[in-house]
Structure 1
Amino acid sequence: METSAPAHRRRLPAGRKADLASYVEQTGQVTVGDLAEHFGVSIDTIRRDLDQLDREGVLVRTHGGAVSSATGPLKDRALDVRMRVQTEEKERIARLAAGLIEDGSVVMLNAGTTTLAVARALRNHQDLTIATNNLRIPAELAPTAFRDLYVFGGAVRSITQATTGPVTFTMTPGGPEVDIRCDLALIGVGAVDEGGYSASNLGDAAMMSEMMQRAERTAILADSSKIGRRFFAQIAQLDRADYLITDAPPPPHIAAALAQADVQVLVP
């Protein structure tokens, strides 16, 4: 008598993909190999399923696997994952931020996917001096946009592909620190609420705060998914920034707090 195949092998593709999406959401992060073994199908089949589910916005495809796209903190997800989330919102924020930057000015940019979008939006600018801890920004900037580009040293956080350390430079190894200032600091943050701006990492928060201290003006960059949340490490209170650039008007109670702090909210 012929034995029947295991239940997971008899599922129709549509049913398998629904089960796959549910499994990824429950697990949070998976590899192609794990999924192929779990569902009893080939790696190529899993890759096709993941590609389709990514196009449909059900999950986020990553190199070698996938992660859940369910709403929630993205602070501990790798940069390649966060670059796939809220992409249109970040591009709109970046265009507004680029409009604040005048040719020939000195700009600081911190780590994050929104500031990477800003770097791409500067392709029509000229003669900028840019200082950043974002190791990806040099590859994103148009060569014609800047005169000088500086990257802050310090410990490298692989998850953000950025350095964490003091916002300083020395002319010679072991020499005195050079006092640096900028016209505008563009700071991508993890969360904004009535208490201020916050991040998930203490070192990152300290670096963002120091960038703000060295700036004539500061623009906070945060898409609407970050508004109304608070993370572990406080960066600064609301009144330390001049602008909040986001993709949608904040909720009334946060909008009132921003207005009281004299922060100008810019939305597309």
Structure 2
Amino acid sequence: MLAQQRQSAILDLIRQRGGVRVSHLVSRFGVSDMTIRRDLDVLVERGLVDKVHGGATLAGPGSADEPGFAAKSIRQQTEKRAIAERAAALVEPGMAIALSAGTTTAALATLLADVRGLTVVTNSIPVADALYQNPRADQTVVLTGGIRTPSDALTGPVAEAAISSLNVDLLFLGVHGMSPRTGFTTPNLLEAAVNRALTEASRRLVVLADHTKWETTGIATIAPLDAADLLITDSGLPPEARAQVREQVGELIVAEV
């Protein structure tokens, strides 16, 4: 296969999946890691894809663009893990908590297997799956049901009705973007409505957002920055952004990476 043909095939795969790993492309096309990285560099130069750690995603998302869960899962993996570890320290035995959809909340779910007497409410299929992979007899998982979105969130009136009858101690909210002007946002209107319902059902709101979410804006606002009791981010967030966050958010925790 000629390089141009391979690059076209790689682009088609990224468009289908939202993102791909270098290791998958190496296996699929039977070429070296360096060859694939050169192919991705060509696509980046053409403005068609963005390189991320370990792979590539489609370039230039707009405010209504919604990458799939697989595409988002290969972005900022180290940062998300660090954020999830700080979030897990807030969860105590016997709590009722909610986890929204998102790759950072999914990372958090994998760290909750040892918490006794935990009840978890979620509209995320990957979050529920992570909890079911490490089942505990004293753990309750409530999956809301609803209409599935590209990010594997369950949304719509079924999900909202299920959430409206519940009360939880903590909500761990994953977001697409955050800024002083637009607050915490998502590119999916249905998902925004469910996240607002989760916020209303929770006694305390904890937002999990890596530094790349700063000044990124989705089409729908979930809540203003000052609605968050706590924001957990990573050390990639610039000092000036931290200062702005501290002016509005109840508490800021910065996970060192």
> Is TM more than 0.5 here?
yes
Q: CA offset at residue 143 of structure 1?
A: 1.1
- Given the superposition, is the C-alpha separation of residues 224 and 262 from structure 1 closer, same or farther in structure 2, using an over 3 Å criterion? closer
1:50–1:61 contact (8 Å) kept in structure 2: no
Q: CA offset at residue 147 of structure 1?
A: 2.0
Partner of 1:260: 247
Q: What CA distance in whole angstroms lies between the structure 1 residues aligned with 2:185 and 2:201? A: 18
Aligned residues: 230
Query: Does the residue aligned with 2:129 lie in a helix, a strand or coil?
Result: helix
1:185–1:217 contact (8 Å) kept in structure 2: yes
Q: Which runs of structure 2 are paired with 1:149-188 in the superposition (5 Å)?
A: 149-157=141-149, 159-165=150-156, 166-169=159-162, 179-188=165-174
Q: What CA distance in whole angstroms lies between the structure 2 residues aligned with 1:51 and 1:73? A: 30
Q: What CA distance in whole angstroms lies between the structure 2 residues aligned with 1:251 and 1:179? A: 39
Q: Does 1:113 align with 2:99?
A: no
Q: CA offset at residue 131 of structure 1?
A: 0.5
Partner of 1:99: 89
1:191 to 177, 180, 198: 177
Which structure features the higher share of helix residues?
2
Q: Does 1:208 align with 2:195?
A: yes
Q: Which runs of 4+ in 1 moved over 6 A?
A: none
2:70 to 57, 70, 80: 80
1:222–1:246 contact (8 Å) kept in structure 2: yes
- Given the superposition, is the C-alpha separation of residues 233 and 247 from structure 1 closer, same or farther in structure 2, using an over 3 Å criterion? same
Q: CA offset at residue 227 of structure 1?
A: 1.1
Query: Does the residue aligned with 2:199 lie in a helix, a strand or coil?
Result: helix
Partner of 2:136: 144
2:232 to 232, 245, 248: 245
Deviations along 1:118-142, whole A, 9 cap, x unmatched?
A: 1001122111111100012222112
2:178–2:184 contact (8 Å) kept in structure 1: yes
Query: Does the residue aligned with 1:136 lie in a helix, a strand or coil?
Result: helix
Query: Does the residue aligned with 1:208 lie in a helix, a strand or coil?
Result: helix
Which sections of structure 2, spanning at least 5 residues, go unmatched?
17-25, 42-50
Question: Aligned-pair RMSD on alpha carbons?
Answer: 3.5
Q: CA offset at residue 256 of structure 1?
A: 2.9
Q: What CA distance in whole angstroms lies between the structure 1 residues aligned with 2:184 and 2:114? A: 30
Q: What CA distance in whole angstroms lies between the structure 1 residues aligned with 2:27 and 2:139? A: 47
Query: Does the residue aligned with 1:121 lie in a helix, a strand or coil?
Result: coil
**What TM-score do you get using the length of structure 1 for normalisation?**
0.72
Q: Which structure has the bigger radius of gyration? A: 1
Greater RCO, CA 8 A, separation 6+: 2
2:14 to 22, 29, 34: 29
Query: Does the residue aligned with 2:166 lie in a helix, a strand or coil?
Result: coil
Percentage identity across paired residues of the two chains:
27
Amino acid at match of 2:29: I
Query: Does the residue aligned with 2:246 lie in a helix, a strand or coil?
Result: helix
1:124–1:145 contact (8 Å) kept in structure 2: no
Q: CA offset at residue 49 of structure 1?
A: 4.5
**What TM-score do you get using the length of structure 2 for normalisation?**
0.75
2:122–2:128 contact (8 Å) kept in structure 1: no
